[in-house]
Amino acid sequence: MVWERDVTVENVCCRVVISDEEDALLAAKAAGRVIVGYLGENGNGSFPMAHYLVETMEAANERYLERVVRREKGLPWIIGESMRLRLREFTLGDIGQIPVEPGDRKADRVFHDQEKLAAYIKSQYGFLEYGLWAVERKEDGRILGKAGLTGFDAEGRPELGYHIFAPHRRQGYGEEACRIVLDYVRGEYGPVGVFAVTEASNEASVGLLQKLGFRFRGSECNGVRHRYALAGPCC
């Protein structure tokens, strides 16, 4: 079986071909189409030519296919928006807007190096489909900081991460960006717990977490860092 869907991303219409037939997928790929392999509910078939697979046609909904098209066309996926902000994946063109700040850790250097950022986009976004995302101000496209998910604990709970660059702090951008992340978690993972770890001395970060509904859960690293969790499920 072969299904075709037209998906419009940034005013460009792309034809997506979904099929459980290898020949059809190979032909569509050769023609420049975006392809998705259809496994069926029994998971039959192997489609090495397709980067994306679905078990049911219901899974190939508009949101999923937009993500596939963006991945295949190298366009940043939009995580969500608020009145002032857009949260999206980083692109290589963002490097010039990401300042080097005192206290930057090894993980922060990824966003200052073109080769490392390209690898991050490919592996972190493309494979894991989560990470730290660009906090973009909608009115002028300026990158104000980073926010997103930095990983999952043993119980499958996502960790919230956030960092607003120094010139843009104390303007409510951190809270606004984190609420977009929490909305994303609710839509993507359902009512799961969310946690965050921050320096015990970082009063601004602690205050932000409390505004978001997080509560202190315990100390780590001999009290240097504190762990917070949402008072209830992210729902």
From the first residue on, what is the mean pLDDT of each consecutive set of 10 residues in the chain (235 residues)? 91 91 92 90 73 88 89 88 96 89 81 91 87 96 95 91 92 96 92 87 89 84 76 53
User: Same domain, yes or no, for 16 and 69?
Assistant: yes
pLDDT at 91: 92
Burial 125-152 (b: 16+ CB within 10 A, else e): beeeebbbbbbbeeeeeebbbbbbbbee
Instruction: Give the CATH number, domain containing residue 156.
Output: 3.40.630.30
Q: What local confidence, expressed as pLDDT, does residue 130 receive?
A: 92
For the chain, where are the E strands, in sequence order?
2-9, 12-19, 34-38, 53-54, 78-81, 85-88, 132-137, 143-152, 158-164, 195-199, 214-220, 225-230
Structural domain count of the chain = 2
Same domain membership, residue 175 and residue 112: yes
Q: Which domain holds residue 107?
A: 78-230
Within-domain flag for 58: yes
Looking at residue 173, its pLDDT comes to: 96
Query: Are 141 and 192 found together in one domain?
Result: yes
Please tell me the chain's helix, strand, coil percentages from 3-state DSSP, rounded to the nearest 5: 35, 30, 35
Residues 224 and 160 in one domain: yes
Q: What is the pLDDT of residue 84?
A: 97
Whether residue 107 is found in the same domain as residue 205? yes
Residue 224 has a pLDDT of 72
What is the predicted pLDDT for the residue at 154?
Answer: 84
* pLDDT at site 161: 94
Instruction: Indicate whether 19 and 50 sit together in one domain.
Output: yes
Angle (CA) 226-227-229 rounded to 5° is 145
pLDDT of the residue at 42 = 60
Check whether residue 131 and residue 208 sit in a common domain: yes
Residue 235, in any domain of the structure: no
Same domain, 140 and 223: yes
Q: Identify whether 162 is part of a domain.
A: yes
User: Are 106 and 218 within one domain?
Assistant: yes
Rounded Cα gap, residues 15 and 35, in angstroms: 9
In a domain, 198, yes or no: yes
Say how many C-beta atoms besides its own lie within 10 A of residue 33's C-beta. Answer: 16
Are 11 and 35 found together in one domain? yes
Res 235: pLDDT: 42
